[in-house]
Structure 1
Amino acid sequence: MKLPDVLKLAPVVPVLIIEDVDKAVPLARALVKGGLKALEVTLRTPVALECIRRIAGEVEDGVAGAGTIINPAMREEAHRAGAKFGVSPGLIGNEDFDDGPLPLLPGIATATELMAGLEAGYSYFKLFPANIVGGVGALKAFASPFPQATFCPTGGVSLENAPDYLALPNVICVGGSWVAPADAVRDGDWDRITALAKQAAALGR
């Protein structure tokens, strides 16, 4: 699956920090049931790769991805675990665009970084941390000089401000963690997470 196809699956890509591997599959199923199929499991916990393996192997309609990829070795590990896409908080040095086997969504925060990413062959980027680096205003400013760039803003995105981002023509989707609150994951409140996912999926384009 090409990266644009993944990012078009729903208006929101859940950003997941999973501490308990046994929560991975029911969490993913709850999100997919609510309409969010592309799932970014951040590589911030010791069980993250195993979570990706389980989601990839057991959640039929889910598209497992790996977040917080900061070097080529992590990208390869994520691919071996079954991830179908990768997300980085920045640009990975010496990594030119490569759409397979694990397409990467690199993060940028400035015009200089965006130019470097475009030079490397990328056209889809994560604006991160979106709320710190200018948010909607920054994306509007980028639109004219960089019409070839498309964004998934992440960082400080919420149910309340997501529509403002999604209304921009250079935004394909947003990334957010609000659809999987830590207490709901801890308590196994999958119905609540499905309800939040349905809200997010209904934000539209």
Structure 2
Amino acid sequence: MRVNSIRDIMRASPVMPVIVIDRLDDAVPLARALVAGGIRVLEVTLRTAVALNAIKAIADAVPDAIVGVGTVTRPEQFAQVKSAGAVFAVTPGLTAELAAAAKAADMPLLPGVMTPSEVIAARAAGFDAMKLFPAEQAGGLGMLKALAGPFADVLFCPTGGVSLHSAPQFLALPNVGCVGGSWLVPKDKVASGDWQAISALAREAAALR
């Protein structure tokens, strides 16, 4: 699916699940379960050997999903994930090389930031939507409220330590577009193939906005 900007993607789902796929066979049923529950934006992390193949499988088989890739840390990965079918990327931090590679790949990027200096650097590189990561360690709600003053034009996706319980508090902030969370894809439910349970978690998350 073609998307215009990272802000469009952030508005498409209140929660962006952070997905770690260990078994390729889990990729498509997991994506279908999340989409069935109303969560269309999927961040598949590059943390496992099957991640690229999982992205391709989901992009091919689940057309309603907006498939992105997370844990992008090297410039050459942008071309790899785009050719696999990813339509956006998420990084834990930002360098000039990563910013240039995202632009060269014509791929919407949600760059990770943790400090005001990093927000300034990301904004100077042309970004006005960013991932606050790791959100809990960075100060969570208090940090986002503090950043709202000097950076009123920046929209954040806090990720790291966000839960179903805390997500509504984050989403209530005017400078939060969505939250990232791994609670939608608990390892035990994925391992046992309990896709109905994952759809139920997705419905719960989709109802947060």
| TM-score (normalised: structure 2) | 0.95
The 5-angstrom pairing of residues 51-200 of structure 1 reads 51-94=54-97, 95-96=99-100, 98=103, 101-200=106-205
Deviation at 1:187, TM superposition (A): 0.3
Dislocated runs of 4+, deviation >3 Å: 96-100
Aligned partners of 2:103 and 2:147: how far apart in 1? Answer: 23
More helix by share: 2
Overall identity of the aligned pairs, in %: 52
CA RMSD of aligned residues (A): 1.2
Name the SS for the 1:170 alignment partner: coil
Is 1:16 matched up with 2:8?
no
Aligned partners of 2:104 and 2:15: how far apart in 1? Answer: 21
Deviation at 1:100, TM superposition (A): 5.8
Name the SS for the 1:152 alignment partner: strand
Residues 46 and 52, structure 2, Cα contact 8 Å, conserved in 1: yes
Go from structure 1 to structure 2 and tell me whether the alpha carbon gap of 1:99 and 1:62 turns closer, same or farther (over 3 Å shift): farther
Which residue identity lines up with residue 194 of structure 1 in the other structure?
S
Which residue identity lines up with residue 176 of structure 2 in the other structure?
V
Which residue identity lines up with residue 51 of structure 2 in the other structure?
A
Is 1:31 matched up with 2:34?
yes
Is 1:41 matched up with 2:44?
yes
Go from structure 1 to structure 2 and tell me whether the alpha carbon gap of 1:99 and 1:179 turns closer, same or farther (over 3 Å shift): farther
Deviation at 1:102, TM superposition (A): 1.5
Work out the number of aligned pairs and report it.
Answer: 204
Aligned partners of 1:162 and 1:79: how far apart in 2? Answer: 30
Deviation at 1:101, TM superposition (A): 2.6
Residues 125 and 152, structure 1, Cα contact 8 Å, conserved in 2: yes
Deviation at 1:89, TM superposition (A): 0.3
Aligned partners of 1:140 and 1:98: how far apart in 2? Answer: 30
Aligned partners of 1:101 and 1:188: how far apart in 2? Answer: 35
Deviation at 1:45, TM superposition (A): 0.2
Residues 34 and 40, structure 2, Cα contact 8 Å, conserved in 1: yes
Deviation at 1:117, TM superposition (A): 0.3
| TM-score (normalised: structure 1) | 0.97
Which residue identity lines up with residue 102 of structure 1 in the other structure?
M
Name the SS for the 2:188 alignment partner: helix
Residues 82 and 105, structure 2, Cα contact 8 Å, conserved in 1: no
Q: CA deviation digits over 1:77-134, x for unaligned, max 9?
A: 1111100110000013332573963111000000011110011110000000000010
What runs of 5+ residues in structure 1 fail to find an aligned partner? none
Q: CA deviation digits over 1:140-159, x for unaligned, max 9?
A: 00001011111000000100
Residues 3 and 99, structure 1, Cα contact 8 Å, conserved in 2: no
Aligned partners of 2:208 and 2:84: how far apart in 1? Answer: 31
Which residue identity lines up with residue 183 of structure 2 in the other structure?
W
Is 1:50 matched up with 2:48?
no
What runs of 5+ residues in structure 2 fail to find an aligned partner? none
